[in-house]
Structure formats: structure tokens, C-alpha cells
Amino acid sequence: MASINKNQKIAQKSGIDQRQSSGNAEYYLAMNYLRSPEASVNFSEVTRNFLLAAEMGHVRAQLALGQLYSTGQVVELDKVEAAHWFQKAADQGAAMGQYILGCLYCNGEGVSKDQEEAVKWWRLAATQGNDKAQMNLFYILTTEPTTNEKKLEGLNWLRKCAEPDSALGRKQKPGLEREEQERAQLLLSDMYHEGGIVEQDRGQAARWLRMAAEHGRPIVQYNLAVTYKNGDGVEKNPAEAMFWFLKAAEQDFVEAQYSLAVMYASGEETPRNYREAIKWFRQSAELGFPEAQLNLAGMLSHGHGGPVNRVEAAKWYRLAAEQGIVEAMFHLGVSLDMGVGVKVNHEEALVWLRRAAEKGHPQAQFNMWVSLHQSEDAESTKEEAVKWLGMAAERGIAEAQFYYGYEILTTGERDCPELLAEAIRWWRLSAEQGYLAGQFQLGVIYEKGQSVERNLTEAIHWYRLAAEQGLDEAQVKLDELLKTEPQA
């Protein structure tokens, strides 16, 4: 190696102490050859000049040679030779050389596998601020089997990587290093959120998540918005939630666009604004987010945020249904059955209603009964129709409960006490949900004492409820009973 000119100024870059300028000319000549058009690159000259510079102790040339030998670019692949040149750079204090050498020892590439040597070189690189070395130290020191001392050291390196540049009085990191910093911040956020290596602390989790969100990635901004919306480790703050949802939404993060639209549409945490809601539902829907397509269709159907447009609503219901959204399948089936925004198509309507019903949509199950009950093949499909009606009744659809009571009576003798009691049970369930026909039916049953003890007070109670909903027949019955039972 050429002797060092002790009067020469020491140049420093990224923690590398370049104690000589020898080799600069050869290094930059090799780089110029590499920058030539691919067809005219003189690879032998690239290698020769890197080698000349590296042998003179030029750190960047040593790193470049290591890279060439490790990848087989320009020269024949040679892991041992690559390790030799990375070692040379590492011995001169090059943080990148130390980091790569640690990786080689960890994986046994060009050198014998040696975890202790890997940790030694990563520590040297990490001390100079190499983010990747800091992250690797965290992983290797906290992975079982380990000790509390090693875990604490690993966490310390993770925090060093995660700390914002301003807190350490350093310039902002370049892009790739900022990615490591963000990754470390997210790791700390997850660890504090769940607990384990560190004691659970949702406040610390939110703190690190906010730091990570400042890097600008939309998914992290979205997660921070959810944190503020739910008050997870911070006070609930709808304004902050909307701020971060908006940040992510402006980068076309569909979940953020959808969440922002929901907040505007609901008006629960911020003043309701249908125009903003439909704007963000539309943007998310156009990017293919099915829940947004469903909600956009609903707003267009009801004229929220603009004029009613049932044709466009049907389009969005279809797109959402085709992506498996059960509620959209139901609405598309109803639209096709009734010709709302589309041409009437009973056959296709039944297809979509059946799909929704099979996925447990109770209203679709009831509509299946209605469609089959009213079809030309009602007799042959009766068993299937009643099956869907029973499922809807079990899921709490009041109208289904009322009609299921009647279907039960058709399975045997109408005067059978057991069947009548079961029918009454379903009528009562529908009546208790406010279903007018169920209330009137119970009034009749208690007035006549059908399968129950005659109870005019109960009859009056149910007739009154039905009358209050505008059923004239119930009002007539109520008036008649009040004449005979004025105290009821």
C-alpha cells in the first residue's frame, strides 16, 4: 500500500475515515467505465482500476470490489474474494464494510459461519449509526435462546435506530436509512401495543406510530388515524383522525378514503357533510374498494350528496356484489326484481338473492321466500321457500316471524294446540318488534282465547299498539272492547 501523506487533510463520509487520497484516480476511472453505455463498458478496465485503487487502500474501491465478487457482476462470482475485500474496508472503519462483513459471518458466505463475529462487526457498524446493523443486532440479540442482558442491548439498538434525527442532533437520513428508521419505529409501536419484550404501554405505542407516520407512508398514516379515532393509547381525537385519514386518502389509500367518507356521512364525530362523503366514497369505489362501492350506491339511491341516481346506484351495487359484498348482493337482487335502475329480471334477481341468503343475509332469506312463494312453481318450491322463511324468522326479521307462524299451521291440523302455540310464539316475537300485523293477530287471539286463556286486557293492549300505527281495523276492535271493558 502506498505511504500515507500525513499532511493531507482527513476526508470523512458516512463514518469512513479515508486516511489517504491514493486510489482516487483509479476509483473514479473505474466508475466512469461503469457509467458508459452498457454495450461499450470495458469490464476488464473496470476490474483493473477498482483493484488498483483497492490495493492502495481506497475504501470505496474495496467495497465496490466486494460487491462485484459477491454478485458475479463483471467478474466471476467468488464469495471468498468478496469477503476479503469487505474485510479490508471493515478493518479501515468503513461502517458499510463492517455491516456486510457481519452479514457474511452470520450466513457463512465466504467465511466460516460465526454468530459472535457477526455481532462484533455489527456492533462496530451500529456504533457509527448504521441502521441495518442496529436492526440486525436487535433481531439477533432478542431471538431465543437469549438473556435479559442481550434483550436490553437489542432494544437499545432498536431505539437508536428508531429515534428521530432531530432528537440525536443529526441531519435527516437518506431514503434507504429512513426506511430502516421507520421500520424500527413501527416495531417499537407494535411491541408496546402488544407487550412482551417490553411492558405494554399503549401511549408509547401511539408515540412511535406517530413518528413512523411522519415518514409519509399511507398505510402507517391510516393506522395512526384509526388510533386517534378509537382512542387507543391517546385521547379520542376525531380532528386528528380526519387529518391522518386525509393524508393517506390523498395518496389513494382506499381504506383511508372510505374511512374519511364514513366519518363525513355519519356526522357522529364531525359535522355531517354528504358532499365530502360521496366524493371520498367515489374515489375509493373507483379504485375498486367494495365497501365504498356499496356505500356510494346507497348514497346515490337516497340522493345524499347529490341528486338521486338509481341507474348509477345499480351499477355500483353490481360491482360490489361481484366482489362478494353480501349487502350489495341483496340490493342488486331487489333492484333486478323491482326494476330499480335496471331492467326487470326476476331470474337474475333470484340468483343474487339466493347468494345473499346463502351467506346468511336475513332480509334476502325473507325475500327468497316471497319470490318462491309468488312464483309460478310455488307448489314445487314450497319446501325451499319455507326453509328460507324459517331462517329469516330465526334471524329476527319481524315480517318473516309473522308469516312463519302461519306456515307452521299449514304443516298439520290448524286446531292442533301444539301447532297453534308455536304459531302464537312467532306472532308474539313479530309483535314485540312492532310488526303491525303481529300485534293485531295477538289482539284477536287474546280476545277469542285461541289456545290461550281469554284476556281482554291483553287484547286491548295489542289492538291499541296496532291502532297507534294506523290500522283502522285495530281501532274498531279497540273501541268495541273499551265499551265492554272501560277499565282496561
pLDDT digits (tens, 9 = 90+) for 347-361: 999 999 999 999 999
Q: What is the CATH number of the domain that holds 104?
A: 1.25.40.10
The arithmetic mean of pLDDT across residues 77-82, rounded, is 97
Confidence of residue 35 (pLDDT cuts 50, 70, 90): confident
CB 362, CB 397: distance < 8 Å: yes
Within-domain flag for 344: no
Q: What is the pLDDT of residues 209-244, one digit of tens each?
A: 999 999 999 999 999 999 999 999 999 999 999 999
Which positions ≥6 away from 50 have C-beta within 8 Å?
26, 27, 30, 61, 64, 65, 68
Structural domain harbouring 425: 380-431
How far apart (Å, rounded) are the C-alpha atoms in residues 389 and 407? 9
Within-domain flag for 322: no
Within-domain flag for 263: no
Q: What is the CATH number of the domain that holds 479?
A: 1.25.40
Q: Are 424 and 439 within one domain?
A: no
Which positions ≥6 away from 364 have C-beta within 8 Å?
326, 329, 330, 333, 353, 354, 356, 357
Residue 170, phi-psi category: left (phi > 0), alpha (psi -120 to 50), beta (remainder): beta
Q: In the numeric block, which cell numbers belong to residue 267?
A: 356526522
> Residue 17 pLDDT more than 80?
no
Within-domain flag for 26: yes
How far apart (Å, rounded) are the C-alpha atoms in residues 286 and 417? 58
CB 294, CB 283: distance < 8 Å: no
Q: Are 396 and 478 within one domain?
A: no
- Residues forming a β-bridge with 13: 16
Q: What is the pLDDT of residues 313-347, one digit of tens each?
A: 999 999 999 999 999 999 999 999 999 999 999 99
Q: Are 421 and 471 within one domain?
A: no
The arithmetic mean of pLDDT across residues 40-61, rounded, is 91
Work out the angle between the directed axes of helices 362-374 and 346-358 (0-180°, nearest 10).
140
pLDDT of residue 4: 32
| Beta-carbon count within 10 A of 64 CB | 25
Q: Which of 70-74, 160-164, 227-231, 311-315 has the lowest mean pLDDT?
A: 70-74
Residue type at position 107:
N
CB 41, CB 68: distance < 8 Å: no
Q: In the numeric block, which cell numbers belong to residue 158?
A: 432498536
Confidence of residue 8 (pLDDT cuts 50, 70, 90): very low
CA atoms within 13 A on the CB side of 128: 22
pLDDT of residue 47: 92
pLDDT of residue 1: 33
How far apart (Å, rounded) are the C-alpha atoms in residues 287 and 253? 9
Residue type at position 88:
K
Q: What is the pLDDT of residues 175-220, one digit of tens each?
A: 556 899 999 999 999 999 999 889 999 999 999 999 999 999 999 9
How far apart (Å, rounded) are the C-alpha atoms in residues 228 and 100? 40
Within-domain flag for 282: no
- Would you call 12 helix, strand, or coil by DSSP? strand
Q: What is the pLDDT of residues 94-120, one digit of tens each?
A: 999 999 999 999 999 999 999 999 999
> Residue 369 pLDDT more than 50?
yes
Task: Give the residue from 128, 149, 180 where a domain finishes.
Answer: 128
CB 217, CB 182: distance < 8 Å: yes
How far apart (Å, rounded) are the C-alpha atoms in residues 234 and 228? 7
CB 456, CB 447: distance < 8 Å: yes
Q: Where are the alpha helices (DSSP H) in 214-289?
A: 218-230, 238-249, 254-266, 274-286
Task: Give the residue from 128, 152, 178 where a domain finishes.
Answer: 128
The total number of structural domains that make up the chain? 3
How far apart (Å, rounded) are the C-alpha atoms in residues 261 and 277? 4
Bond before 145 cis per omega within 30 degrees? yes
